[in-house]
A and B are shown apart, each in its own frame.
Chain A
Amino acid sequence: MSGAATAAAAAPGARIKPRMGRDDWIMRGAMVAIGLFLVLGVLLPLYTMMSKSLEDSDGAFVGLANYVEYFSTPALFYSIYNSLWISVLSTVIVLVTAFIYGYALTRTCMPFKGFFRMVTLVPLLTPSLLGGISLVYWFGNQGVAKELLLGESIYGPIGIVIGSSYWVFPHALMIVITALAVTDARLYEAAEALRASKVRTFFTVTLPGAKYGLISAAFVIFTLVFTDFGVPKVIGGSYNMLATDIYKQVIGQQNFQMGAVVSVVLLIPAVLAFAVDRLVQRKQVALLSARAVPLVPTPEPVRDWSMFAFCSVVAAIIICMLGMAQYAALVTFWPYNLELSLNNYNFDVMDGGGWEAYFNSIRMSLYTAAAGTLIIFFGAYLMEKGRGFQGGRTAFHMAAIVPLAVPGMVLGLSYIFFFNSPHNPLNGIYGTMLILVLVTVVHFYTVSHLTAVTALKQMDAEFESVSASLKAPFYRTFLRVTVPVCMPAILDISMYLFLNAMTTVSAVVFLYSSDTTLASVAVLNMDDAGDIAPAAAMAMMIAYTCAGARLLHALLTRGLARTTQAWRRR
């Protein structure tokens, strides 16, 4: 139908301009406010960073001169190749491992599945630095299993690939398990009825079914490794990667312009990977059928026990990584005095921030979890449940998705440029706890936002209509219905924010001040200063705290299910 014809059809009666009620004003106002928070927290800093990459150190516009310099300095641009190579290699290793591990957990009758699942959560509780530190003790110059490398050095690509694979493994595994869990048993029954062999069934049913999940996992692994700073910093030696280059340019050489150039170079593949992944994920949703019959695996001793052997090896590696960090933290003076003591936990006698850094981290993580959950959930609610204002809501959703594409190092450096500028009225928050909380909330905004949106989508779409007809203001329904019903998701979001705030290094490493040193930054600095054992001890402090928080979260969720969610039971 042509636009002119429809316009003519609507021509009689004047166009109605809906009058906005009090609720509409408040909701739109609040959503615009949170939208501005995102503009201020992501878009403007990114813009400032990009324009800095086109300026010289005095702030004069020099066009692409910095880029020309970058690409004519082999020491710099060779990092692109290094970063790509390491990321691709890690992606292949992790994807294959995660797929087999995930397959064992979802599709076999392997014993001790619960244990194997729990072990994989371990790397999530520690900063990515911990893997690097552990590798130093295993394979470093004074490492216990140094000979296994046959003379190769752990400081370099080998170390980076092992360390990266260790900490991204759980992220990939979660996606693979989700992809393998949503299958339709009837497909397998059909394949069996058609007398397809097990191998043929695997290649024609299992793999295609998990295809989008695997692609998505590959992009996640690639992006995480590509943008990670912690592992190459600790174990990379003189092997340059993009993320460590930014750090070296900015902290080492105070060359902010070149830092900005490297950031842009790092940002482009990250954004590309992110965009492709979003496209792929959209397809996967369409594949799911609501009427699928869940697949229940049947015992097959040969397969089950070989899977058990494989998973045992993977689990052993994870435990060895954590175990060595713990052992190193307790050893008095490696490798000469192996007596156990708590000397390395005496952080106050070492550089790096001391115990204050640890308590700062806890404070920062609590603030991030509290403020972040509040802002993110409320923002998602306004976007999802508001009436009208379609353009504004779509723009908000897009703004909320952007942070996922921005690597932490890039975000941190952008904040220096944006908030440290004397022209910025918000300049005062630079060097305070507030900017650390702000950058962390923004850094982890997207995943939390999507969790909230998923939970909100599961609620009846007409709650808001009903409460409007009952003349109840929207915030009353939000507090009395939406929040209680979504409480499990809200707890998940706050947990996610807390764990990430405890373990993150990349964004905050540029933004802490002497009063606001954080535990994860202390790990980095102590390692830098050669105090590797105390660094391990501090990394373990973070691990204990995260494990404790997780436990508390599990107890809370269970308690909640028993009391406030009583209505879920019939």
Chain B
Amino acid sequence: MPMDGTAAAPAYLRITDVTKMFGDFTALKDVSLEVNEGEFVCFLGPSGCGKTTLLRAIAGLDIQTAGKVEQAGADISALPPAERDFGIVFQSYALFPNMTVRRNVAYGLENTKMAKADIEKRVTELLELVGLPDQGDKYPAQLSGGQQQRVALARALAMSPGLLLLDEPLSALDAKVRVHLRAEIKDLQQRIGVTTIMVTHDQEEALTMADRIVVMNQGVIEQVGTPQDIYGRPATAFVADFIGTMNFVPGSVIADGRVSVGGTELTVDTEGRAPGTVVTVAIRPEDVAVHDADMSSENAFEVTVQHMEFLGSFYRAEIGSGAFADHVVQADFSVNLVRRNDLKVGGTTRVSFPPAFIRLFTGDVR
């Protein structure tokens, strides 16, 4: 499909106020989103959040109840899938079991006016692209899961679609294969520059592969941003909780830049909240800093280590003290640090919550 790159970088895919109802159930609620050309976007969220529904609406497989979908400047809202421009890969691979790998990849091409020799050339090219140059004459059942998913990828890319849709492509694979393949898919996507949307419930996958992540929950978009944004500056408590681990402690604003948590005052950007506002203070376990006893810094206080769980390269400790009443906070301590500071259950240490890493959410969101 031709691209009109004349306007100031128009979005390649624009979704406006998309709503999808299944009977009385609202699966998507007024979802709007823009995806730029060549971008790798992940839809991330728990099961039932609407991410697959949104993908299927974009593909035309389950057309939205209301709202607009535009691709490359054209309104495709009501088009059947066959009249849209996309390639798709499913978790189940959906390879035709009675055809060889080559026939699977060639399936779409054979439907065009393309000459036979050209088709064969293109298939060879695609199989090389996905790293399976000599598996062409095997049947899907003779390949491993990872190999089958590469074939599915080659088949989806065969028609050089403007948009590549990946529906949980790695979820059926073993952990090791998954890690390997996600790097490969990302690399492939960058080389051919195809605009890609991937649906996943695996945050690690989204964080490692995406240019931008769309976090969804209960049919709405919670946040759109780069992996660093999403992880470091979660916009909502849901995002903060869903991605990585987050401590939530209730508190209230005392003054501009000051928050009280269980009697202890913390310095933190209150983002203009009025004094007296009930807030939830959030900090990630790895952002809790341990200090030597004599060192003083902002938001530092004495805590007791109540529990330690060994997780290989680090310990996840539960710390608490009079500092924030009976709230227990998790903190990650490296093995090295534990050894150096001789940390153990029942012992005390000094920690700080660096202001830059604290997030505030209005209300008690736990």
CA distance A14 to B65 in the complex (A): 8
Partner of B107, one of A472, A485, A566, A570: A472
CA distance A485 to B80 in the complex (A): 26
Cβ-closest chain A residue relative to B18: A13
B 79-96 binary contact with A (CB < 8 Å = 1; else 0): 111111011101011101
Given A18-B78, A21-B83, A463-B96: A469 and B21 interface contact (C-beta under 8 Å): no
**Which residues of the partner chain B approach A570 to less than 8 Å between Cβ atoms?**
141-142
Contact A470 B80 (CB under 8 A): no
Contact A20 B97 (CB under 8 A): no
Q: Which B127-170 residues have a C-beta within 8 angstroms of A? A: 139-142, 155-156, 158-159, 161
A142 close to B (CB within 8 Å): no
Measured between C-beta atoms, what is the minimum distance from A461 to chain B in Å?
8
Q: Which A460-485 residues have a C-beta within 8 angstroms of B? A: 460-463, 465-473, 476, 480-481, 484-485
Cβ-closest chain B residue relative to A17: B78
CA distance A17 to B79 in the complex (A): 9
**Which residues of the partner chain B approach A513 to less than 8 Å between Cβ atoms?**
none
**Which residues of the partner chain A approach B29 to less than 8 Å between Cβ atoms?**
9
Cβ-closest chain A residue relative to B56: A465
CA distance A564 to B99 in the complex (A): 10
A24 close to B (CB within 8 Å): yes
CA distance A467 to B152 in the complex (A): 12
A 543-570 binary contact with B (CB < 8 Å = 1; else 0): 0000000000000000000001111111
Q: Which B32-71 residues have a C-beta within 8 angstroms of A? A: 59-61, 63-68
Q: Which B161-187 residues have a C-beta within 8 angstroms of A? A: 161
B111 close to A (CB within 8 Å): yes
Measured between C-beta atoms, what is the minimum distance from A411 to chain B in Å?
37
A 238-259 binary contact with B (CB < 8 Å = 1; else 0): 0000000000000000000000
Contact B81 A465 (CB under 8 A): yes
**Which residues of the partner chain B approach A22 to less than 8 Å between Cβ atoms?**
82
* Interface size counted on chain B using CB atoms at 8 A: 50
CA distance A19 to B83 in the complex (A): 10
Contact A470 B107 (CB under 8 A): yes
B 105-141 binary contact with A (CB < 8 Å = 1; else 0): 0011001100000000000000000000000000111
Cβ-closest chain A residue relative to B97: A567
Partner of B111, one of A13, A472, A564: A472
A422 close to B (CB within 8 Å): no
CA distance A465 to B80 in the complex (A): 11
Measured between C-beta atoms, what is the minimum distance from A561 to chain B in Å?
13
Given A18-B78, A472-B108: A465 and B66 interface contact (C-beta under 8 Å): no
CA distance A485 to B97 in the complex (A): 8
**Which residues of the partner chain A approach B159 to less than 8 Å between Cβ atoms?**
470-471
CA distance A6 to B92 in the complex (A): 33
B17 close to A (CB within 8 Å): yes
Contact B21 A6 (CB under 8 A): yes
Measured between C-beta atoms, what is the minimum distance from A481 to chain B in Å?
5
**Which residues of the partner chain B approach A24 to less than 8 Å between Cβ atoms?**
80
CA distance A376 to B79 in the complex (A): 30
**Which residues of the partner chain A approach B59 to less than 8 Å between Cβ atoms?**
465, 469
A 1-39 binary contact with B (CB < 8 Å = 1; else 0): 101001001101111111111111000000000000000
Contact A564 B98 (CB under 8 A): yes
Contact B94 A10 (CB under 8 A): no
Contact A10 B66 (CB under 8 A): yes
A387 close to B (CB within 8 Å): yes
B30 close to A (CB within 8 Å): yes
CA distance A566 to B138 in the complex (A): 11
Contact B24 A470 (CB under 8 A): no
A 380-413 binary contact with B (CB < 8 Å = 1; else 0): 0000000100000000000000000000000000
Cβ-closest chain A residue relative to B61: A465
B16 close to A (CB within 8 Å): yes
CA distance A99 to B65 in the complex (A): 52
**Which residues of the partner chain B approach A468 to less than 8 Å between Cβ atoms?**
60-61, 80-82
Partner of B98, one of A3, A476, A485: A485
CA distance A415 to B73 in the complex (A): 58
Given A18-B78, A465-B90: A6 and B26 interface contact (C-beta under 8 Å): yes
- Other than A10-B65, A16-B65, give 12 A-B pairs with Cβ distance below 8 A: A6-B21, A6-B24, A9-B30, A16-B64, A18-B80, A24-B80, A468-B82, A469-B82, A469-B84, A470-B107, A471-B112, A566-B139
Which are the 9 A-B pairs with shortest beta-carbon distances? A470-B108, A21-B80, A13-B66, A567-B139, A462-B94, A468-B81, A18-B63, A13-B17, A19-B78
Instruction: Give B contacts to A, CB under 8 Å.
Output: 16-19, 21, 24, 26, 29-30, 59-61, 63-68, 77-84, 86-88, 90, 92-94, 96-99, 107-108, 111-112, 139-142, 155-156, 158-159, 161
Instruction: Give A contacts to B, CB under 8 Å.
Output: 1, 3, 6, 9-10, 12-24, 387, 460-463, 465-473, 476, 480-481, 484-485, 564-570
- For this complex, 29 residue pairs linking A to B, each with C-beta atoms less than 8 Å apart, are A6-B21, A6-B24, A9-B29, A10-B19, A13-B67, A15-B66, A16-B64, A16-B77, A18-B78, A19-B79, A21-B83, A22-B82, A387-B61, A460-B90, A460-B93, A463-B94, A465-B61, A466-B90, A469-B59, A470-B111, A470-B155, A472-B111, A473-B111, A481-B99, A484-B98, A564-B98, A567-B97, A567-B139, A569-B141
